[in-house]
Structure formats: structure tokens, C-alpha cells
Amino acid sequence: MPNRLQDKVAIVTGSTLGIGAEVARLFAEEGAYVVFNSHRDDAAAAAMRAQLDPARSLFVQGDVSDPAAMRELAAQTIARFGRIDIVVNNAGMNMFADPLEMTDEQWQRCFAVDLEGAWNATRAALPHMLAQGAGSVVNIASVHGHKIIPGCFPYPVAKHALIGLTRSLGIEYAARGIRVNSVSPGLVMTENVQAWLDACPDPDAERARQAALLPCRRIGEPREVAYTALFLASDEARFINATDILIDGGRSQIYHD
């Protein structure tokens, strides 16, 4: 079904690389006006500008951890396109540290981006969604919000909290036309994952080892996550709310020693 988001206005945070960039591209292909975002105006942002129709897209630089920046993101969206129908909270960061060696700054930055960032962007958009009586928020959580992998603290704490935020806000505003859902990707071949594999002593062997851990025997692709975000953002999912969808090839369902 083409044009699943025809003329809807979507904000996608953290959308110049990885899953966010793929979400932005797919939403544009499906007819949306897309406001894409990064905390940096760099080569990746320039590449996205070149890929998206300038008449139907807008880049707004801003760090999601800054509430004022997210209010500005919403304000520029309204000024350019007149409404906000969809927010995809994709901006995030990895933070893996020993709990007792982690600094206060590491803890605070993890939550400022991975949890508060989603709230900041959503909070800025909510008044506009409520005024029009409709809106869809899709949070990009993680399999780390379901299963704990040793050595990854405090990232899983933030992602568990993000799923809690999803459920709570979904219920809070359900009767006023707002849906809030999340998706939880497992291992997906983003630029960051590719860079991690390239830094391994034997990249091909490590990639094969990671793929072997998955029931489907392959690593996920950003577009596979983007299609799930598209479904949740669209009217096809109008009775889906306060729900998280795992996208991990089934790995989290397997018992491991």
C-alpha cells in the first residue's frame, strides 16, 4: 500500500544516520513531510538534505537532552508545515560502564539522551497533537529493555524506563486521540555496529559469530526497523497503543547458558 503517511508531518530525532535515517527516508517515500534532526550539522546531515525533497523536508539541529531545543524543533515544524502528526524518538546513545566505576556524568548523560530526550521531544509535540485530537509517537527502545546483557550497564536501565514511559503516556492520552508505542531492535547493521565489527581483530569471524546467535542466522537491517515504525505511525495501527514490538530475529526468546 503506497502513501501510507500521505501528507502527515513527522518529526524523527537522531535521523541522519542508522535507524533514524532509514525511518526518515521511508516516511518520505510514503508521502510524509519529514523533519529530521541531529545534535550536529555535519556531513551526515548534508547527505540527508541531498536525499530528501527540500519542499517536503526540514533539518533542525538540536540536542534531544535540551528541552528548549526540542521546543524549538516543534516550533520550526509548526512554522514550516502547520501541524505535527508523528514523532519518532530515535536519538540515543550507548553507555556501557562498570556500575562502580561509572562517573556521575556518564549516568546523567545516558538518561538525558536515552530517556529524557524522548520525553523532551514528545512533550514539545503533545500540545499540538492534543489540539488536533490525533497523533502517534513511536519510541525506539531496545532489546536491552527486555533482557539484561552483562557489561552493558546503565543502558538497559534507560531502555526499560523508555518502555515504561511509552506505556504510561499511551494510557494517559489514549482517550484524546494520541497513541504511544515503541519498538525494541536487537542487533541491527547500523554504521555504529559496522564500525564496531571493523574494529574487531577478525571482523568477518565476529560478524559470523553474531549472526549465528540469531535464529534467522543473519543480522537485522535498519529498514526492517523502519517498516515497523511506519506501521505503528500509520492509521493501520490505530488500535495499537502502549505496546512494544521486539525486532530481534527471535533471539530474546532463546534460553542461553
Question: pLDDT tens-digit profile of 1-59?
Answer: 579 999 999 999 999 999 999 999 999 999 999 999 999 999 999 999 999 999 999 99
The cell numbers describing 204, all together, are: 568477518
What's this model's pTM, rounded to 2 decimal places? 0.95
- In the chain, how many domains are there? 1
Question: pLDDT tens-digit profile of 170-218?
Answer: 999 999 999 999 999 999 999 999 999 999 999 999 999 999 999 999 9
In a domain, 25, yes or no: yes
Mean pLDDT of 222-235: 98
Instruction: Check which CATH number belongs to the domain holding 134 and give it.
Output: 3.40.50.720
The cell numbers describing 191, all together, are: 554504521
**92: helix, coil or strand?**
coil
What is the C-alpha separation between 139 and 184, in angstroms, rounded?
9
Catalytic residue among 33, 155, 227, 255: 155
In a domain, 206, yes or no: no
In a domain, 83, yes or no: yes
Say whether 173 is catalytic.
Answer: no
In a domain, 50, yes or no: yes
What is the domain extent for residue 49?
Answer: 9-188+221-253
In a domain, 246, yes or no: yes
What is the pLDDT confidence band of residue 254, given thresholds at 50, 70 and 90?
confident
In a domain, 27, yes or no: yes
* Crossing angle between the packed helical segments 116-132 and 67-81, to the nearest 10 degrees: 30
C-beta of residue 15 within 8 angstroms of C-beta of residue 44: no
In a domain, 3, yes or no: no
In a domain, 144, yes or no: yes
C-beta of residue 167 within 8 angstroms of C-beta of residue 139: no
Cβ neighbours of residue 113 closer than 8 Å, sequence gap 6 or more: 64, 65, 91, 92, 93
The cell numbers describing 82, all together, are: 502547520
